[in-house]
Structure 1
Amino acid sequence: MKRALIIVDVQKDFCEGGSLAVDGGAAVASRLTDYVEQHGEEYGAIVTTQDWHIKPGDHFSETPDFVDSWPPHCVAGTQGAAFHPNLDVSSVDAMFRKGQYAAAYSGFEGHLAQAGDAQGTAEDSPSLGEWLSQRGVTDVDVAGIATDYCVRATALDAARAGFHTRVLKELCAGIADDLEPTYRELEAGGVALA
């Protein structure tokens, strides 16, 4: 068994003060830094995902419905798309960017970011699933922002891809006040909650 930690979208725009802030986002960034410091050696790989929007079409709206459309956020190359400063990414093995030209909630829609590529990724760079499989990863822990959107989508896709998947609830921040429906959906999809 080889386990990876997937840190989902812990970006400035999704934390307090950002354009699409989630309450508790900055605290999750700090808790993740502490967690990696204490448990990082338990993982064969640590990866991050980032929303990295260039022209995401209807995903951005001046009159968002907060279901399928949202205010502009995590625009490629802006400060809002950067990782929150409370998150120490020095132990991260790879970063995967998603959503350049369309909505993308799951990290498994992302591709490996290439150094110096302001547009996000090269089209031929490996997807998150390919990268993990190439390294013999069998199990993944998923944490980050937001529990009921990108964390949920990433975890469900991980389970569908055959990875033994856990969501680390205390290392996530959600949008909804009641996350029980999300937890039930995750468990129904074969995701363990820890």
Structure 2
Amino acid sequence: MRALLIVDVQNDFCEGGSLAVAGGAAVASKITDYLKNNAGDYSLIVASRDWHDANSSNEGHFAIDGAEPDFVDSWPPHCVSGSTGADYHPNLDQTFIGVHVQKGMGHASYSAFEGITTDGRTLEQVLSDAQVTALDVVGIATDYCVLASALDARKTGIAVTVLTEMCAGIAVASTDAALAQLQQAGCAVVTSVA
């Protein structure tokens, strides 16, 4: 069985958000267009979201109380649970999504495999229950959460393909390094899809 994982296509990670990635809104549109033509190719479509606690440093993940974020381990507050910034970007058609994973509740969390579904299961459990053997990964940001999620998927033995046309990274150098790391880990990296 083949599944699609849509990583963190949220308002705060798109243009105008508190931690915007250039091209994020376009990625949301590309994913929706892709799903209109290809959703039937997948037995399961999963989407993850950062879902951080309000009024908390989330174990140092947020720079708070006037501290400057280092953009490595600490970040500006983003994707606070229940906020507009944590919502999926409006260009992403949510009707295709069968399973929602929330991550980062009270702590830093980059991989969708660190989150839980609305019914309390891990992503690994969801994929195992659905007998998924191949996973396509898209979303934001290539060099952080897409990278971490794809690497964790690969560790489970699933065949992983990252569809870069539907990803957006923070910086060219770190995105290139992430794609090289993914390939080294045995993930396929596909730059264009029909």
Q: Distance in 2 between matches of 1:87 and 1:36?
A: 10
1:9 & 1:130 partners in 2: Cα distance?
19
Q: Tell me the TM-score normalized by structure 2.
A: 0.93
For residues 101-156 of structure 1, the C-alpha deviation after alignment (integer angstroms, 9 at most, x for no partner) is 11000000010025xxxxxxxxxx11001111001111100000000000000000
User: Which residue matches 1:105?
Assistant: 110
Q: Distance in 2 between matches of 1:23 and 1:175?
A: 7
- Structure 1 vs Structure 2 CA RMSD: 0.8
Match of 2:68 in 1: 63
What's the counterpart of residue 27 of structure 1?
A: 26
Deviation at 1:177, TM superposition (A): 2.0
Unpaired runs of 5+ residues, structure 1, are 115-124
2:189 maps to 193
Q: Tell me, what secondary structure is at the counterpart of 2:139?
A: strand
Match of 2:179 in 1: 183
* Partner SS state of residue 164, structure 2: strand
Question: What SS class does the counterpart of residue 81 from structure 2 fall into?
Answer: coil
Q: Helix, strand or coil for the counterpart of 2:106? A: coil
Moved over 4 A (4+): none
**1:173 corresponds to 2:168:** yes
SS at match of 1:58: coil
Could you tell me which runs of 5 or more consecutive residues in structure 2 were left unpaired when the two chains were aligned: none
Structure 1 CA distance for aligned equivalents of residues 107 and 185 of structure 2: 25
Deviations 1:74-123 (A, max 9, x none): 00000000000000010111100000011000000010025xxxxxxxxx
| 2-structure distance, mates of 1:44, 1:74 | 28
Question: Displacement, 1:189?
Answer: 1.0
